[in-house]
Amino acid sequence: MKMLVSVNISKGFDVWLKMAKSLNPEMEKVGASMIWAGTNPDESKIFMIVEVQDPSQMQTFGEREDIAKARAEAGADVASTTIISPIGADYLP
C-alpha cells in the first residue's frame, strides 16, 4: 500500500533528507520504503510517498524512541506527521 504523508520541518529539506536517508535500512526492516519526497517552497513542510506492507507498522516505526529522536533532531515536528491519504492507483511516467 502506498500513502501520501506530510510532516512539518524547521531545519530545511537538506537536513531532513540526510536523516531520512540514514533511516532507510530501519524502514526496510519493517517492510516500508520512501518512494518520493519533496518540500514546499519555503522548506517548512515535507510531502512523501511511502510504500508499506502494513500501515500499522509505519506508525509503530515512527513512534520508536530512537526514530522519533532522530527525526526531531533533524527538525521534523514528529507530532505533525499526517497521513494525507492512502493511494489506490498511481502513475509514474
- Against a cut of 0.85, is the pTM above it? yes
Unique residue bearing C-alpha cell 524502514: 27
Unique residue bearing C-alpha cell 500499522: 56
- Do residues 69 and 3 lie in contact, with contact meaning Cβ atoms separated by under 8 Å? no
Q: What is the pLDDT of residues 29-71, one digit of tens each?
A: 988 999 999 999 999 999 999 999 887 777 788 888 999 999 9
Give pLDDT, residue 56.
76
Percentage of the residues of the chain whose pLDDT score is greater than 90: 78
Give pLDDT, residue 59.
74
Interacting residues of 4 by C-beta distance below 8 A, sequence separation 6+: 47, 48, 49, 83, 84, 85, 86, 87
Percentage of the residues of the chain whose pLDDT score is greater than 70: 100
Domains of the chain plus CATH, in order, are 2-87 (3.30.70.260)
